[in-house]
Structure 1
């Protein structure tokens, strides 16, 4: 692990995790997150276009400045994490900006409705509406990659399941960072990594899940896609850290999808914290995993690997059993 990664783990263990052990105060968490917000500037040659009053594409675009009439080679629809009840496209710009640049993709980060004011299936409905809006605007389905982290990763996977069930076109693939796929909280890592995870105790997810679920059973396949039939999905790229309490949400989905015949690129990185790509400006491991994700996005949309991505196996853990 890099020294930057070690510092981030140390900081999270002493600041973030104690806060998550307190009773959930939705307004306080949202306010605290907004006050601590740091976001990178739009990179040179790109423009940030915010449209927070324009449903169904409510959120923000990061677009490369191209010659008039020149379309983007690919588009990423990104769904941010935050337990379904906090965070926003703005909090996740370190991921979205880094991924868009590396993949040479126009990226739309969706500002989906949050729980508990808008419980399941509001976020899913918003993701499906955004997908339909992209297609209606002329973006080809096979040029789109859907992505997400944590709750957004679970939401991205649920969106794929809903699209498959509806019989319509599917994205070219999905990029899932530390996805939360089991709101019933049955993964063994919730116990085994309790105390090892620098961000969370295992029990926190049992307290957060009801905010999103409302009256919906925790095993509903579109709320917890671990319980969905996963056949017929496009290729999936999954990454999680070995000490995360949620790592089994990645392992089990990857195994079930592979058994269903889905192409899987899954790796468990040693000692990485939950959604470590968000530390890309400071952490070498975060930049490397974004290189890998961008290479996947280029490949499944027909564009090859991102330059400078390196060997996609270079930082994978020996725990990786699905590739």
Structure 2
């Protein structure tokens, strides 16, 4: 465990963990998160295309295109659909750029980070509907399933897995693989690690997930497989790449999915990082373990995908030419 990782865990234990023991204040959490966001520079040779829509103007029809693209100049031969974490009620593509920028450049993939609708204003299945629709739109726009990977962290990791299950059930061609960082896959909070790692996890107390889950579930059951994919039939899914920390309260949300997926014949790579915090790849600019995690993820993405030069040309042309009130191109010199 690196010094950087120890310092980050020390900071989380003193700043983030105490807040998870109190009542859930959605507005306060969102405001604090917005203040703390550190935005990395857009990588050289890449373009950031932001296409956000005001929440009060967004609906199910345009939600799949709300978010941001990181696109390599000239296009890349593969595509990643990224679903950010945040308990389904906070964070955004902007808060997760340390992951998305690092992953896209390492994997040589154009990456679309979806700004899916958040709870409690938009409870289940709004986020799932948006993720499924975003994937379908990528296919409709010319990306081939064999060149696509779905990725996500925490709630976004659970959402990525649920999206795979929903796509399979709908008969939609599945992506080449999926990346799940510390996924929240059991909104019923039944994993043994919820109790066993309570007090060891530097970020979350054990009972916070049972208090957050109703914000997203609304009237739905916590064991609905589209909300909690640990309860889903996982047969026929593409290869999974999963990471979680050994002291996470959500550790069993990863381990149980890995075990059930393998039992269903799915190829699974599951790494458990000793003493590493929840979604540690997000600390890539500062933590060597995080940089190695992104390196390993990129190798997985490249291995499972088939490069698609035709789709690369189709994707890059409209992204270079399109402009409008809700689209903004950022270059390294203009990014913050």
Q: Moved runs in structure 1, 4+ residues, more than 4 A?
A: none
Give the equivalent residue in structure 2 for 1:56. 64
Deviation at 1:41, TM superposition (A): 1.1
Q: What runs of 5+ residues in structure 1 fail to find an aligned partner?
A: 304-323
Q: How do 1:256-295 residues align onto structure 2 when only pairs under 5 Å count? A: 256-295=260-299
For normalisation by structure 2, the TM-score amounts to: 0.88
The answer to whether structure 1 residue 184 and structure 2 residue 185 are counterparts is no
Deviation at 1:55, TM superposition (A): 3.7
Higher RCO (C-alpha 8 Å, min separation 6): 2
1:35-69 Cα deviation digits (max 9, x unpaired): 11111010111110001136421100001112xxx
Q: What is the aligned-residue RMSD (CA, Å)?
A: 0.8
Residues in 1 aligned to 2:64 and 2:123: alpha-carbon distance in whole angstroms: 17
Give the equivalent residue in structure 2 for 1:158. 162
Residues in 2 aligned to 1:146 and 1:223: alpha-carbon distance in whole angstroms: 17
Deviation at 1:97, TM superposition (A): 0.3
Residues in 2 aligned to 1:61 and 1:167: alpha-carbon distance in whole angstroms: 27
Give the equivalent residue in structure 2 for 1:208. 212
Residues in 1 aligned to 2:121 and 2:83: alpha-carbon distance in whole angstroms: 18
Deviation at 1:20, TM superposition (A): 1.3
Residues in 2 aligned to 1:102 and 1:14: alpha-carbon distance in whole angstroms: 32
Moved more, 250-259 or 17-26: 17-26
Q: Does structure 1 retain, via aligned residues, the 8 Å contact 2:193–2:250?
A: yes
Deviation at 1:168, TM superposition (A): 1.5
Deviation at 1:248, TM superposition (A): 0.3
Aligned to 1:63, the other structure's residue is in SS state strand
Structure with more of its chain in helix, by fraction:
2
Give the equivalent residue in structure 1 for 2:45. 45
Moved more, 49-58 or 2-11: 49-58
